[in-house]
Chain A
Amino acid sequence: MSVPSHFRFVSTDRRVREDRRFVAGKGRFVADVEVANTKHVALVTCPYAAARIRSIDKKAALAMPGVHYVLDGRELAEATNPLATGLDTPNVPRRPLAVDVARYSGEWVVAVVADTRALAEDAAEAVEIEYEPLPFVLDAEKALGKDAPLVHEAHGTNVLLDRTFTWGEVEKDFAESPRKLSLRVKWARSSTVPVETFGVLSSWDPWREILDVWASIQMPRYTEQIAGALKIPMSSVRLHHDVDVGGSYGIKRGIKHAVLTGYLTRRLGLPVRLIEDRLENMRGGDAHGPERLFDVEVAFDDNGVVRSMKMRALENVGAYAGRSPFQLGKPIGSIVGPYKIKSVQYRAMAVVTNKTTQEAVRGFGQGPTNLALERMMDEVANALHLDPLEVRRRNLIRHDEFPYRIPSGTEYDSGNYETVIAKVIAGGRYDELKQERDRLRREGMLAGIGIAACLEPSGGNATFEALINPKVTTSTFMDSCRINVDGSGAITATMHTTSSGQGHETLVATVIGEVLQIDPDTIRVTRPDSLASLPSGTPVGSRMAIMLGGAAFHAANKLKDKLIRIAAHDLGIPLERAVYEQGTVSDRDARAKRRTIKEIATIADRNYHRMPENMEPGLSVSHVMQVPTGGKLPTPDGRVQMYPCFSFEFHLLLLKIDPDLGVPEIVRYRLGHDCGTQINPKIVRGMTMGGVAHGIGAALYEEFAYNDDGQLIAQTFMDYVLPSSHEVPAVEIVDHETPSPHTVLGQKGSGESGYLGAPAAIANAVNDALRPLGISLNTLPLKASKLGDLIAAA
C-alpha cells in the first residue's frame, strides 16, 4: 500500500456529485418510489403509558371504504420472530405491534392497510380497543427501586444491563489522590430527528420469492433482521440501496416498520408502504435517543492532574431494547477522552421504563459521555481556582505519546491536541474572549466561556456488542467496493449501502480517481441492491471515509495492478519497466510505447489472446475491507481495541445570558477540528457545522419531554424545538490534519464531528456564566425558562 505524499483530488475543493440531483428536486426518497397498486399503512397507537389490551374490535374499521386489512399484534407475533436486540434478554421481546400489553404511550397496537393514507387514518380511528391502564414508571432511578412497576413482568426486573468495568488500580489511585469531587450530569432524552421521517415500501413477489424493500434506512444487517423476523431466507430480501435517505445521523433503524410491512405484503399480496407521519415518528417510531444520568467521581492532585475516575452511566432506554444499551458500550473506547487518566471504573446500567424505545444517535453514546467528561474537567479547574484550559493542557495526551493506550484497552492512533488548541487560541484569542466576557459581565450580563476537548472515535467496528453481551462473537465490520471497467474503458464503481447525505458517491469517485490519477467526474458510482452487493456495514460509527474509502482505495490499486500487468504483457516489457500514469501504462525506457486504459479495456474485454496467461478476462476487481486494528474479541476484564481512529475537536465559545430573561445566546464560537486527511473539505465542513447545530439543539432546546401521566408532550415540531438558522451562530472552524497511520490516505471519521463537543462546551459556558451567582445547572436542555427560574432564585 502506498500513501501518496500529495494529492490530485483528495483534499481539494471539489463539488459533491450528489448535489446536482438534490438541487433539481430529483433526489429519490422512499416516499417518491412508485410501485403500482401500493397500499398504505396507518397505525393505531396506545394512548396510555402502560396498558393491558383487553380487546380489539376491527369490524367498523374493516367496513370502511378502501380498507384492506387490520392487523393486530397477536397475529403478527404468531407469524414472526421477535426483533433481534443483540442482548441476552429473552423475556424482553421487541415486536412491531404490542402483544397483550402496550408499554409506552404511542406504541403501535394495530396497523390498518387502505388504498390511501387518508383512508387508512380514517379507519384507524374506527378500530375499537379496550385498554386496562397499568402502573408505569418513567424515571430511570425510580425504575431501579424495589417497588417500581415492572415494564416487562417476565423479565423480573427493569434492569437490562448492569456491568461494572474496572481498568487499573482505581481504589488505590483514589486513596492516594489529595483531592476528589463528584458531580451529576444529565443528558436529556433527545435525538437526531431528521426532517424526513422513516419510511418503507415492501413488495412481495410470490413467484420469484423475493421481498423487495425500499426504505429510508441507515442500518447494518437490515436484511438479515427482516429475514430473521419473517422466517424467510436472507437471499429472499432485496433491499434497494438507490434510495436517498433524508437525513438519519444514526437513527433510521426502521426494523419494526420493515417487518410489519413485510408481513403485510406477504399476507395481502399487495405492495404496502408505511411512511411515518411526524406524530408516529415522534411517539412510536422508536426514534428517541439517549437519556442518560451520569454520576462521576474524580480523583486529582493539587495541580489539576486527574488520576482516576469513577463513572456510573444510567440509561433510560425506554420500553424495549433498541440500540440503546449498546450505546453505553461504545464510549468505552475513549472513556478517558483526550486525557491521560490512569485508571477508570465504569458502571454501565440500562433500565427499561414506559417511554419510547431508542435507537442509535450520532456518536452512539459518545456525546453524553463527552458532556460528563468535560463538565468534570471544568469542575476540577473550578475546585482548584485554575484556568479550565490550563487544567486540560496538564492532562492532555501529548503529540509524542501516540500511539497511546488507554486503560480500557484501546490504542489511540494519532493526534496533536496541543497544536489544534494552539491554532484555536492563536493571536491572543483566549485572553480576548475572557476580556469580552468580563466586559459583558460589567454590563450586567451573565457571560461565560465554554471549552470542550473531545474525541470522535471513528471507523466503527462492532466490538462493543461483545463487550456488552459476551455471547456476541462479531469481530468484523466490513465495507466493500467493486470496480468494473467496461469494454469502452469507462469506469463504474459500486457501493453497497444507502446514504443519508454523507456524499459517499463523491467519496468513492474521489478515492478511485486519486489512485488511478484520472478525473473523478468521469467515474460512475452506482448502488446495486442488497442481493447484488458485497458486504457493507453501512454508514454508522463515523466509518465510511475509512472503510468505504479504504475499500475503494484497495480496489483501485488492484485495478491499477491489473492494468499494468495487461499492458506490460501486451507491450512485451517486464513488469518493472511498466509505469502507470493518469490512466496510461508506458515503457519506462521508451515512453512512446504505451497503452491507454481504453486500449487495455479492449484487450481485457475482447482480446483474450493478448492477455497474460491464466489471468481472468475482463477488468473487474473488488475489495472487502476489514476494520483496521479490529478483529479481536474483548478480554474477560473488558479490554479491547474499539475503533481504529480518533478525530479530535476543540470547542471554544463565549455565551451570554440576559439575567432577566434567562435566554442564552452564543456570542462567539471557534472550533478546532482534526479528522486527519479530509477527502472532501466541503463535506467535512458541512458535517462539522451540522454537528455543531445539532449539538446546540441538544444543549439548549431539544427534549422529548413527558408529563406525569407518561404522555410525550414534545411530539410536534412546535414543541420539540429544532434549531433554525436564527439559533445557529457563525462558527469559525480551524482545521488541522494529523493523519491516521491506520488508514489509506491518513483519513479519520468526521460524521459526528461538532456534535460530540458542542453540548459539553455550551454546558461549560452556561456554568461559567452562572458561577458568579453561586449556582450551577447540569441538566440538559439548558433552556431559557429553566435558566431564568434558577437565576431568579439565586
Chain B
Amino acid sequence: MRTELTVNGATHVVEVEPRTTLLDCLRDNLRLTGAHAGCEHGVCGACTVLFDGVAVRSCLIFAVQADGVPITTIEGIAPGPGELSLIQDAFCETHGMQCGYCTPAMILTAHALLANNPSPTREEIVNAISGNICRCTGYAQIVEAIALAAERMRGANRPAEAT
C-alpha cells in the first residue's frame, strides 16, 4: 500500500504491505535504525517514537495507520550532526545507559514527559519511564538524567535577568 510518512519533518512515500509495522517501516524502508525491536509485542518500549508528539510503541502501529501523522524518531532529536540536545547531553552526563539499546526510546519518552511537565517529581519520572524496560542500569541514572535535563531546561528557559 502506498503510504505517506512524515518523519522528522520530511515526507516519504513508501510502498508497504499493510502488515508492516511502523517500526519495521522506519528501520527497513527509511533506514532510521534508532528505534529498536525488543519484544515486538508492546511491553519493552524499545521501539518508542513520538507520534504527533506523544510517545507510543511503533511495534503496535502498522505503517499504513501512520499515514500523514507527524512522527519524530531519535534521529530527529539532535540539533545538528555531532550536536546533542539538552536531554541527550543529560543522559551522557549521568551515564543513563549502558548497552544503548533502550536509550533512544528512553530519550523520546523523556522528551514527551518534559514537554508536558517541565518539573517532574522523581515519582513522575519513574512513572513515565515505567513502560520502557532497561535491563542494564536499574534505572537510577536514567531517572537522574531526566531530572537533570528538566533542571537545565528550566534554567535555559528562564528570562536572562532572572538567571
Whether A195 contacts B101 by the Cβ 8 Å rule is yes
Chain A contacts for B75, CB-based, 8 A:
24-25
| B34 x A26 contact (CB < 8 A) | yes
A687 within 8 A of B: yes
- Answer yes or no: A205 CB below 8 A from chain B CBs: no
In angstroms, Cα B136 to Cα A323, docked, is: 22
Q: Which of B31, B95, B134, B142 has the most CB of A within 10 A?
A: B95
Cβ of B138 under 8 Å from chain A = yes
Query: Which of A157-165, A289-297, A310-318, A724-732 lines the interface with chain B?
Result: A724-732
Chain B residues contacting A34 (CB-CB under 8 Å) are 31
B62 at the interface (CB under 8 A from A): no
- CB under 8 Å from chain A, chain B span 31-88: 31-41, 43-44, 46, 73-75, 77-78, 84, 88
Within A258-296, which residues are at the interface with B (CB < 8 Å)?
A: 275, 277-278
Contact of B135 among A32, A193, A275, A718 (CB under 8 A): A193
CA–CA, A245 and B100, complex, Å = 9
Q: Please state if A194 and B101 are interface contacts (CB–CB under 8 Å).
A: yes
Chain A residues positioned under 8 Å from B27 (CB to CB): 31-32
Query: Known interface pairs A23-B103, A717-B44, A718-B41. Does A694 touch B135 (Cβ–Cβ under 8 Å)?
Result: yes
Q: Which residue in chain B gives the minimum CB-CB distance to A726?
A: B130
- Contact check: which of B19, B94, B98, B107 meets A690 at CB < 8 Å? B98
Answer whether residue A227 sits at the interface, using C-beta atoms and an 8 A cutoff: no
Inter-chain contacts of A277 with B (CB < 8 A) = 37, 40
CA distance A725 to B134 in the complex (A): 8
Is the pair A15, B135 in contact by a Cβ cutoff of 8 Å? no
A743 to B79, CA, bound (A): 43
Which A residue sits closest to B43, measured CB to CB? A717
CA distance A246 to B47 in the complex (A): 13
Q: How large is the interface on A (under 10, 10 to 19, 20 to 34, 35 or more residues)?
A: 35 or more
On whether the beta carbons of B138 and A682 are closer than 8 Å, the reply is no
Known A501-B100, A716-B39, A725-B126; contact A23-B138, beta-carbon cutoff 8 A: no
Is A731 a contact of B19 with CB atoms below 8 Å? no
Interface centre among B17, B37, B46 (most CB of A within 10 A): B37
Contacts A247-B99, A278-B39 known; A19 to B135 CB distance under 8 Å? no
B84 touches A689 (CB 8 A): no
Kindly state whether residue B22 has any CB partner on chain A within 8 Å.
Answer: no
- Provide the residues of chain A in CB contact with B37, threshold 8 Å: 31, 197, 275, 277
Partner of B136, one of A682, A686, A717, A718: A686
Distance in Å from the Cβ of B29 to the closest Cβ of chain A? 12
Residue contact A725 to B99, C-beta cutoff 8 Å: no
Contact check, A24 vs B84: say whether CB atoms are below 8 A apart: yes
Q: Please, how many angstroms separate the alpha-carbon atoms of A730 and B144 in the complex?
A: 11
**Main secondary structure on A side of the interface with B:** loop
Q: Is A244 an interface residue (CB 8 A)?
A: yes
Q: A693 is contacted by which of B103, B130, B139 (Cβ under 8 Å)? A: B139
Q: Which 3 A-B pairs have the closest CB atoms?
A: A25-B34, A22-B100, A246-B101
Indicate if B93 sits at the interface (CB-CB under 8 A).
yes
CA distance A194 to B142 in the complex (A): 17
A195 contact set on B, CB distance < 8 A: 36, 38-39, 44, 46, 99, 101-102, 133-135
Report the bound CA distance from A453 to B27 in whole Å. Answer: 46
Q: Do B140 and A731 touch (CB < 8 A)?
A: yes
A658 within 8 A of B: no
Closest partner residue, chain B, to A119 (CB atom) = B17
Residue pairs across A and B with Cβ atoms less than 8 A apart, 18 shown, are A25-B75, A32-B27, A32-B33, A193-B135, A195-B38, A246-B99, A247-B101, A247-B135, A278-B38, A500-B99, A686-B141, A689-B139, A689-B141, A691-B138, A718-B41, A724-B131, A725-B127, A725-B130
Inter-chain contacts of B33 with A (CB < 8 A): 25, 29, 31-32
| A21 cross-chain contacts in B, Cβ below 8 A | 100
Q: Is A502 an interface residue (CB 8 A)?
A: yes
- Asked if A60 CB lies within 8 Å of chain B CBs, one says no
Given contacts A25-B34, A690-B136, A728-B138, 20 further A-B contacts (CB under 8 A): A15-B92, A19-B92, A23-B88, A23-B107, A27-B101, A29-B101, A32-B33, A195-B36, A195-B38, A195-B101, A244-B101, A246-B101, A247-B101, A685-B95, A689-B141, A692-B138, A717-B43, A717-B44, A718-B41, A726-B127
- Do the beta carbons of B100 and A246 come within 8 Å of each other? yes
